[in-house]
A and B are shown apart, each in its own frame.
Chain A
């Protein structure tokens, strides 16, 4: 059982829709991450939050908007996505942004019509 919970597990949306992905962890971790994973590829880092502050944005298009309301929650707001944004979106957390391992959720599989 994963200790990082992501909802929804699957999401289908049109290019004009607005939706949000949610991630929750209760391990007391202070670093949280969003990754994008395309089929047969490793995850690609999108955003890093450290102590609820955005610390890394890997030049992600503005149609992806992250939010960290508190130390346990991480959201990814989606708007006007493109078909190429269809992918598995993974959330992860770690004790801090350090050499400690990151713990991943099961992801949200996103399909853009």
Chain B
């Protein structure tokens, strides 16, 4: 079946540090890929997306590139802020699987001042 694997957290960083969250997927086909962010006490917000190989999604200083050869969609940010503390979910949608959203386990990020 289809699945998404993320690095386990928590990831603890200092402000202005570089953030990378690894995400790899298994899918029988060519999924669309997403990163969602969940701030404490809130729902999920779409952070960025990519729908085909080599697409780069970007938003709020975050970037991720759809790498078909490594089946990866790693999230990066060059300089994190305390306000980036949240849980980040990598996810995929595959038409052949009924267009259901498949999530990774989530990675908690804590940015300290």
Contacts and interface: CB of A to CB of B under 8 A. Distances in A.
Contacts, number: 54
B44 A43 contact: yes
Interface residues of B, number: 26
B73 interface: no
Nearest to A4: B43
Contacts of B43: 2, 4, 6, 90, 104-107
Contacts of A92: 44
Q: Is the interface of A mostly helix, strand, loop or mixed?
A: loop
A4 B42 CA distance: 12
Interface size, A (range): 20 to 34
Contacts of B68: none
Across chains A and B, which 8 residue pairs bring their CB atoms closest together, nearest first? A42-B103, A99-B32, A104-B43, A104-B44, A106-B43, A99-B93, A107-B43, A101-B46
A102 interface: yes
Contacts of A40: 106, 108
